[in-house]
Structure 1
Amino acid sequence: MMTRPKFLSQFHIHPLLWLVLFLGVITGSFVEIAIIFCLIFIHEMGHVGMALFFRWRITNVMFWPFGGVMDTEEYFTRSYKEEFLVVLAGPIQHIWIHVLLTQLMAVELFPVYLLEYAIVYNLQLLFFNLLPIYPLDGGRILLLLLSYKLPFKKVLGYTIYLSVLCILIGLSIATVNHWLTFHTLLLAGFLFIENRLEWKRKHYVFIRHLMARYHQPQSHSNRNLLVPASSSETVNEVLQKFYKGRHHQINVQFDTDSSATVEEDQCLRAFFERKSPHIQMKELAKIGYT
């Protein structure tokens, strides 16, 4: 029995997309649906290609009727440069596609109505994916931008809050302008469910981010950040003040107006090695292990 190569086994088509393709065949709109799928496929392969370039581990690529999702354990554990490039590699595909389609309009090799359909949907897909709604590309960009100015743990929650707010605003605008369709409701429902799942997973994502820092300590050449902490604060509370892409030094203030500096790797080792997330910073400063 022939089996698919390991890489191809990571690609999956959602049953709903198979249904849409089937309906396209029996309703005579298969070509239009095939165009949509090709655009979605190229978009997602942009993400996949850039992720493979940086040697990310891709666990799954799922294609839906209204987009694709690349699952990987590397998000939020790599550098800003890598994560921005992987996210932008999807939307940027629509730029050269738009140029190609407009050139094809000039040479008249394909029916004009199909090219016009492809141009319109290509632009819609580009702008839709740039909306600040997680897990769309715009939502991922929003998360990365927020993490420049806010602790990573807070960013995870704020991104979901803003995503849900944007979905509600979008539904309100669609309702007022009579644009609300079954497809719109289906898409909004999908995005609500995804944000609900991300809310439930945010603690796991945060721990995964910390574990990546633990296994690959942040270089002191990164932007250093001095984090103030009281002597009674726990390691867990201090870790929640950590920023993505920064190296932290914790300034522990004692009641006697004296202070001590604790490096971030000491907090991470207390959390993962000693299994002591609730140890107070005054105790960690006294231990002073390296």
Structure 2
Amino acid sequence: MLMLLSLAMGEWLGIVTLFGIVLLHELGHLWMARRFGWTIREVKLLPFGGVLEVEEAGTVPAREEAWVAIAGPAQNVLLALFAGGASWAGLVDASWAQGFMKANALIALFNLLPILPLDGGKIAQAWLSHRIPYHRVLLWSSRLSLFCSAAVVLYAFVPLLQGQVPQLNVLAVGLFLCASNWTYRRNVPFVFLRFLVHRARRSEGRIDRGTLAQPIVVAEQRQPSEVVKLLMKERYHLVYVMRQGAVQRVVPEGQLIDRFLSALTNGHADLRFFM
């Protein structure tokens, strides 16, 4: 619809340039993801950016997620520098170069907003993964994304205060982000379950290389469905089960996850607990 409208208004060069920038932005993500050996399912191009869908979502190290997210805006920076250099050398028209640089800056800055599935939201999620349990990371990143998406929608109506027409393009993007993050919020239990299923493979790799374990201390009556919510994505855990101030047993995180998944398979655990 955006492309057809732009063609009707004689702005075909602008829309082609915009989608070219978006494509190169997404190729930055794609290149970095392939360097880490990720399996790419799909690349979606949108007017404000793109979405790279991969098989490894939520199961790879936060460091890799951060680098893949940063690669997109970094591509915009390189494009802007290239346009500036070409303009300085007289290879391209100065006004076109200025518009090209502005478009890259807008796309890069917008994608750095802390909203999923934008790059800034993924970077924020990776940063939180080093500091708080992963289940809490999923909940808080979804809440932050919904809040900021609503702020984008409200920002679209700011021109009304000056008697002008709302920014319909900003409104459309804000509504899309709200709908996307509302769906993500409802899917948090399944995202967390995917994290647990792939956790064992990553844990084995940490043990083989040697790692420092971070203890989790819980009372004996705590259920596995409660304790797995305390796992941090970037740590390996040993669970100390306590009774009246004394350690009853030490449970490796793999056994804890196996107990929870077995209970889930047998119908003794409820995914609604993770909402």
Bucket of the pairwise TM-score, normalised by the shorter protein: 0.7 to 0.9
SS in 1 for 2:217: strand
Equivalent-residue separation in structure 1 for 2:173 and 2:114 (angstroms): 15
1:141 aligns with 2:154: no
Structure 1 unmatched runs, 5+: 1-18, 280-290
Show the 5 A alignment for 1:114-133. 114-133=96-115
> 1:278, CA displacement in angstroms?
5.5
1:162 aligns with 2:144: yes
Question: For 2:192, which of 196, 206, 209 is the aligned residue?
Answer: 206
Q: Name the counterpart of 1:58.
A: 40
TM-score, normalized by length of structure 1?
0.83
Structure 2 unmatched runs, 5+: 270-275
User: Do the aligned partners of 1:151 and 1:244 also contact (CA within 8 Å) in 2?
Assistant: yes
Deviation digits for residues 199-240 of structure 1 (CA, Å, limit 9, x no counterpart): 111111101111111233251434421101111111111111
> 1:258, CA displacement in angstroms?
4.1
Question: For 2:176, which of 177, 181, 190 is the aligned residue?
Answer: 190
Deviation digits for residues 134-178 of structure 1 (CA, Å, limit 9, x no counterpart): 110000111111121111011111011111222333444554465
Q: Name the counterpart of 1:9.
A: none
4+ residue stretches of structure 1 with deviation over 6 A?
none
User: Do the aligned partners of 2:146 and 2:182 also contact (CA within 8 Å) in 1?
Assistant: no
Equivalent-residue separation in structure 2 for 1:24 and 1:129 (angstroms): 23
Equivalent-residue separation in structure 2 for 1:255 and 1:215 (angstroms): 34
Q: Name the counterpart of 1:272.
A: 261
Aligned length: 261
Equivalent-residue separation in structure 2 for 1:169 and 1:223 (angstroms): 41
Equivalent-residue separation in structure 1 for 2:109 and 2:211 (angstroms): 33
SS in 2 for 1:90: helix
More helix by share: 2
> 1:277, CA displacement in angstroms?
8.5
**Over the residues paired in the alignment, what is the CA RMSD in angstroms?**
2.1
Q: In the alignment, residue 149 of structure 2 is paired with which amino acid?
A: I
Q: Which moved more, 1:30-39 or 1:111-120?
A: 111-120
Equivalent-residue separation in structure 1 for 2:258 and 2:57 (angstroms): 22
Equivalent-residue separation in structure 1 for 2:141 and 2:212 (angstroms): 23
Q: Which moved more, 1:132-141 or 1:20-29?
A: 20-29
Q: Which moved more, 1:192-201 or 1:78-87?
A: 78-87
Q: Name the counterpart of 1:12.
A: none
Equivalent-residue separation in structure 1 for 2:187 and 2:106 (angstroms): 30
Equivalent-residue separation in structure 1 for 2:7 and 2:157 (angstroms): 31
